[in-house]
Amino acid sequence: MYNPNNFFFSYFYYRLYHLNSNKGDFQGFPAAAVITLIQSLAILDVGIFIMEVFVRGPVLAPYARQIAYSATALGFLLLFLNYKKYNSNFDKMEEKWRGEARKSRRVKGLLIALTVVLVFVPLALVTKL
C-alpha cells in the first residue's frame, strides 16, 4: 500500500516526473528508472561494504555471471514495482506537494542531488577512480 508520508522516493519521483517533457502514457517511466538506479546503487553499496569488510579475495569471481543475471532480473523487477507504485499514486503526491514553497523545493532538490552523487562514492572508492 502506498504511504504518502514516505517522503524520500515519493518526492524524488514527483520531482523527476515533472522534469520529463513527454506527456504520454509512460511519462513516469523515466522517473521510476532513475529511482530504480539509485536504489540499485544503494544496494550495491551495501554489498560492496560487506565484501570489503568481511570477505577478502575473489570469492565470488566464479559466480560473476550468475550474480550479474540475478542483479539484472532484480533491477527489472524493482523498476516494474517502482513504476506501478509511484505512477498509480501520482495524484496523491501532486496534491501534497503542488503548492510547495520555493525554499522548501530548493532544500529538498539539494537533498536529491546529494543522494544521486553519494550513491556513486563507494563504487568510485572501491574501483579507485
Q: pLDDT truncated to tens, each residue of the chain (129 aa)?
A: 455 556 788 888 988 888 876 667 777 888 899 999 999 988 888 887 887 778 776 777 777 788 889 989 999 999 999 999 998 888 888 888 888 899 988 998 898 889 888 888 887 777 764
| pLDDT of 4 | 52
Q: Chain-centre distance of CA 119, in angstroms? A: 9
Q: Which of 37, 21, 16, 39 shows the shortest CA–CA distance to 87?
A: 16
How far apart, in Å, are the Cα atoms of 46 and each of 29, 42, 64? 26, 6, 17
Q: What digits encode the pLDDT tens for the residues 57-66?
A: 677 777 778 8
Q: What digits encode the pLDDT tens for the residues 39-58?
A: 998 888 888 788 777 877 67
| pLDDT of 22 | 66
Instruction: Show me where the domains of the chain are located.
Output: 7-127
- Grid cell for residue 103: 525554499
One-character DSSP codes across 60-98:
SGGGHHHHHHHHHHHHHHHHHHHHHHHHHTHHHHHHHHT
